[in-house]
Amino acid sequence: MAKFAIPKITRPLRLSAYAPELDTEIHVWVNPPRAMLERYEESFQKVRALSARIQDGKLSKEEGEEIAKQLEEEGSYQVEFFSELWSQHKDPETHWSAEEVTQLIQGVRETDPMLFVWMTNQSVGLIVEHRTITKKG
């Protein structure tokens, strides 16, 4: 049997699916290592739990500051995660730095706050699809 290396596989995410005026696409790495996905899931669940504690509103000043610090750390991790997912295409011009992801988040905060959420959800969806769909030749 011939040996082969499994390449980093990317799939396009067309932003026009979010809004027709966004005539561009990003390339999502759909076969990252399981450990990378597990770490992201941990981060996602941690942010969800911390956010729920904030919404509960029964925090001391110190608890609020500690949660804010943890949310900032997880946010930084998630920026790095998506930067890596969006930077594996063969064309380096399509790669996203962590700084560019941060600029995107800040740029859409006022005008279109759901765009980044949509991009991240769709990116994870492409990974799940790739990992779960039976391939046919």
Q: How many CB atoms lie within 10 A of CB 99?
A: 10
H/E stretch holding 100? helix 98-108
Say if 100 falls within a structural domain.
yes
**How high is the pLDDT of residue 44?**
95
> Tokens 């450990």 belong to which residue?
35
Measure the CA–CA gap between 5 and 57, rounded to whole angstroms: 51
Report percent pLDDT > 90 for the chain.
82
Say if 20 falls within a structural domain.
no
Mean pLDDT across 38-53: 94
CB 89 within 8 A of CB 102: no
Mean pLDDT across 48-76: 90
Q: Residue 135 above 90 pLDDT?
A: no
DSSP 8-class letter at 5: P
> Tokens 């027709």 belong to which residue?
20
H/E stretch holding 58? none
Q: Convert the pLDDT of each residue in 63-121 to its tens digit.
A: 889 999 999 999 999 999 999 999 999 999 999 999 999 999 999 999 999 999 999 99
Q: Residue 136 above 80 pLDDT?
A: no
Q: Residue 32 above 90 pLDDT?
A: yes
Say if 49 falls within a structural domain.
yes
Distances (CA, A) of 104 to 19, 64, 107, 114: 16, 27, 5, 12
Structural domain tally of the chain? 1
Parent domain of 75: 28-132
